[in-house]
Structure 1
Amino acid sequence: MTNLQILSLELKDYRQYKGTQKIDLRTEGDRHINVIEGQNGAGKSNILNAITLCFYGTEEHLKDEKEGGLDTFPLVNRTRLEELNENEEASGYIEIELGDSEPEYVFKREFKTVKDSNGMFNSVAGDLKLQRKVNRDWKPVDNPHTHLNEILPTRVHEYFLFDGERLHEFFEEGYPDRVKTAILDVSHIELLNRSLTHLDKMQTELSREASDFEGEAKRLKDNLDEKEQEKERKANRIEELEGNIAEAESSIDEIDTKLRDSSDASVREKQERRKYLNQRLEKLEDSLEELESDTIESMVEAGPIVYNYEALDFTHEQFAEMANTGQLPPKIQDWFIQELINRGTCICGADLDSNEEKIEHLQELEQEMSIVMQENLEGKAELPRIIRDGGDAMNQLITNRQKMSEQSEELEEVDIELRDISSELKNYDLPEDVDVSKLESQREDLEDRISEMHEEVGKLRGEINTLDDEIEELDESWREEAAKEDKHRVLMEKLEFVEDADTELSSIKETILAKIREDTEQNMNQYFNDLIWKDEDYTIELGDDYTVSVFGRHGDNKIGSLSAGEKQVLALSFMSALTKISGFNAPILIDTPLGRISSKPKNRIAQNLPEYLEDTQITFLMTDEEYTDDVRAYLQNSVANEYILDYVNEITEVHDR
Structure 2
Amino acid sequence: MLRIKSLTMQDFGAFKGEQKFELPKEEGVTVFYGENMRGKTTLLNAFRFALFGKIIGRGRRSVSFHDMINWEARADGVRSFEVRLALSHAGAEYRLTRTCKPKSGHDAPTGHEDYVADYYLERGGHILPPQQAALEIERILPEQIARFFLFDGELLQEYEDLLYSDTDMGPKISQAIERILGLPTLTKSRDTLKAALDRAETRVALAAQGDQKTREYGNQLQNLVEERTVLTGDLFRHEKDLEDLRARKVAIEDDMRRKQRMATLLEKRDRLTDEVSELQTEITKKQEAITAAMSPAWAAIIVDKLKLTLARHLEREVELQSAATRAQVLHSLSKGHDPECPTCLQTVLKDAQTKIRAHLPDVDAGTEDDRNRELAGVRRQIDAINAQLETTNPQALRLLWSDFEAHRRSIYSKRGEIEEIKKKLTGSSEGEIKGLQREYESNVRQTAALENGIAETNGKLIENAGYRERLQKRLDKLAGGEMDVERRRRDLASTLHDMFNQSVGVYREQLRRRIEADASSYFKRLTTEEDYAGLRINDTYGLTIIHRDGSDIPMRSAGAEHVVALSLVAALQNNAQLRGPIVVDSPFGRLDGGHRARIVETLPEMADQIILLVYEEELPPARAREALKGRLKSEWTLERKSARHTELAQR
Band the TM-score falls in, shorter-chain normalisation: 0.5 to 0.7
Alignment of 1:148-167 (within 5 A): 148-167=137-156
Between the aligned partners of 2:462 and 2:67, the Cα distance in structure 1 is 59
Indicate how the Cα distance of structure 1 residues 139 and 547 shifts in structure 2: closer, same or farther if over 3 A, else same. Answer: closer
Pair 1:552 & 2:543 matched: no
Work out which of the residue numbers 188, 193, 212 in structure 2 matches 1:194: 188
Whether 1:633 and 2:626 are equivalent positions in the alignment is yes
Inter-CA distance 119–153: structure 2 relative to 1 (3 Å threshold)? closer
1:202–1:498 contact (8 Å) kept in structure 2:
yes
Which of 108, 117, 122 aligns to 1:131? It is 122
Q: Could you tell me which of 494, 499, 508 is aligned with 1:499?
A: 494
Q: CA deviation at 1:479?
A: 2.4
1:320-377 Cα distance to aligned partner (Å, 9 max, x none): xxxxxxxxxxxxxxxxxxxxxxxxxxxxxxxxxxxxxxxxxxxxxxxxxxxxxxxxxx
Asked if the contact 2:109–2:115 (Cα under 8 Å) also holds between the matched residues in 1, the reply is no
Q: Find out whether 1:617 has 2:617 as its counterpart.
A: no
Q: Which residue of 2 aligns with 1:475?
A: 472
| Structure 1 residue 167: Cα displacement | 0.8
Residue 597 (1) aligns with residue 591 (2): yes
Q: Distance in 1 between matches of 2:568 and 2:16?
A: 37
- Residue of structure 1 in register with 2:482 after alignment: 487
Say whether residues 1:51 and 2:43 are aligned partners. no
Give the structure with higher Rg (CA).
2
Aligned to 1:82: 75
Q: Deviations over 1:588-629 (max 9, x none)?
A: 11111112212333233334334x32x511101112332135
Measure, in 2, the Cα distance between the counterparts of 1:197 and 1:626: 48
Amino acid of the structure 2 residue aligned with 1:503: D
Q: Are the counterparts in 1 of residues 535 and 544 from structure 2 also a CA contact under 8 Å?
A: yes
Write the deviation string for residues 487-514 of structure 1: whole angstroms up to 9, x where unpaired: 3233323322222221222233233322
Moved more, 469-478 or 201-210: 469-478
**Structure 1 residue 478: deviation in Å?**
2.6
Could you tell me which residue of structure 2 aligns to residue 536 of structure 1? Answer: 531
Structure 1 position 126, deviation (Å): 3.6
SS at match of 1:646: strand
Structure 2 residue aligned with 1:11: 9
On the 8 A contact 2:7/2:20 being kept in 1, the answer is yes
Change (3 A) 1:118 1:9: closer
Query: 1:12-52: per-residue Cα shift (whole Å, max 9, x none)?
Result: 111111111111222425xx001111122211111111111
Give the partner amino acid of 1:475. Q
Question: What is the CA-CA distance between 1:201 and the residue it aligns to?
Answer: 3.1
TM-score by length of 2: 0.56
Instruction: Within 5 Å, give how 1:397-412 maps onto structure 2.
Output: none
**1:216–1:6: structure 2 CA closer, same or farther, 3 Å change rule?**
same
Distance 2:462 2:61 in 1: 48
1:530/1:54 CA distance change after superposition, 3 Å = same
The amino acid of 2:141's aligned partner reads: L
2-side partners of 1:520 and 1:571: how far apart?
Answer: 12
One of 503, 522, 528 as aligned partner of 2:517:
522
- State the SS of the aligned residue for 1:513: helix
Distance in 2 separating the partners of 1:196 and 1:640:
45
Q: 1:654 to 1:533 in 2, by over 3 A?
A: same
Deviation at 1:147, TM superposition (A): 2.8
1:492 maps to amino acid: R
Distance 1:54 1:465, change over 3 A: closer
**Quick check: 1:5–1:26 contact (8 Å CA) kept in 2?**
no
Distance 1:205 1:40, change over 3 A: same
1:165 shift after superposition: 2.6
Q: Report the AA paired with residue 54 of structure 2.
A: T
Residues 221/626 of structure 1: CA separation in 2 closer, same or farther (3 Å cut)? farther
> What per-residue deviation string (whole Å, max 9, x for no partner) do you get for residues 43-83 of structure 1?
111111111111111124479423xxx63643321222222
Q: Which residues in structure 2 correspond to 1:271-282 (within 5 Å)?
A: none
The reply on whether 1:33 has 2:23 as its aligned counterpart is no
> Partner amino acid for 1:624?
E
2:388 corresponding residue in structure 1: none
Residues 565, 597 of structure 1: 8 Å contact kept? yes
* 8 Å CA contact 1:42, 1:646 repeated in 2: yes
1:243-642 to 2 correspondences below 5 Å: 474-481=471-478, 483-484=479-480, 486-544=481-539, 546-558=541-553, 560-610=554-604, 612-613=605-606, 616-628=608-620, 629-642=622-635
Checking the alignment, whether the CA contact within 8 Å between 1:55 and 1:128 is kept in structure 2 is: no
TM-score (norm 1): 0.56
Question: What is the letter of the counterpart of residue 120 of structure 2?
Answer: K
Q: Give, in angstroms, the shift of residue 526 of structure 1.
A: 1.3
2:113 is equivalent to residue 120 of structure 1: no
Q: Return the letter of the residue paired with 1:33.
A: V
Residues 190-221 of structure 1: CA deviation (Å, up to 9, x unaligned): 34333333333333344345445457746556
**Inter-partner Cα distance in structure 1 for 2:218 and 2:549:** 56
Q: Do the aligned partners of residues 117 and 92 (structure 1) sit closer, same or farther apart at CA in structure 2, a change above 3 Å counting?
A: closer
8 Å CA contact 1:75, 1:113 repeated in 2: no
Q: Secondary structure at the match of 1:539?
A: strand
The secondary structure found in structure 1 opposite 2:550 is coil
**Distance change (3 Å), C-alpha of 1:73 and 1:577:** farther
Q: Which residue of 2 aligns with 1:24?
A: 22
Structure 2: distance between partners of 1:139 and 1:467: 54
| Identity level (%) | 23
Residues in 1 aligned to 2:221 and 2:569: alpha-carbon distance in whole angstroms: 45
Q: 2:126 corresponds to which letter in structure 1?
A: K
Contact between 2:205 and 2:221, CA under 8 Å: does it hold in 1? no
What residue number does 1:104 align with? 93
Q: Distance in 2 between matches of 1:524 and 1:145?
A: 33
Give me the whole-angstrom Cα distance separating, in 2, the residues matched to 1:554 and 1:467: 49
1:643 and 2:646 correspond: no
Q: Distance in 2 between matches of 1:550 and 1:98?
A: 37
Give how far 1:561 is off.
Answer: 0.6
Q: Closer, same or farther in 2 for the Cα pair 1:539/1:102, shift >3 Å? A: closer
Any idea what the Cα deviations from partners look like across 1:577-596, whole Å, max 9, x if unmatched?
11221121311111111122
Distance 1:121 1:494, change over 3 A: same
Distance 2:92 2:178 in 1: 31
One-letter amino acid matched to 1:623: Y
**Secondary structure in structure 1 of the residue aligned to 2:633:** strand
CA distance 1:205–1:5, change in 2 (3 Å): closer
Q: Runs of 4+ in structure 1 displaced over 6 angstroms?
A: 100-103, 221-230, 464-471
| CA deviation profile, 1:207-258 (whole Å, cap 9, x unmatched) | 345445457746556778999999x99xx9xxx9xxxxxxxxxxxxxxxxxx
CA separation of 1:100 and 1:151: change in aligned 2, threshold 3 A: closer
Q: 1 CA distance for matches of 2:476 and 2:187?
A: 28
Letter in 2 for 1:625: E
Distance 1:12 1:96 in 2: 12
Q: CA deviation at 1:480?
A: 2.5
- C-alpha separation in 1, matches of 2:578 and 2:156: 21
Offset at residue 632 of structure 1 (A): 4.7
2:618 is paired with a residue of what secondary structure? coil
Is residue 76–residue 112 contact of structure 1 (8 Å, CA) maintained in 2?
no
Change (3 A) 1:514 1:82: same
Distance 2:121 2:5 in 1: 15
The aligned amino acid for 1:511 is V
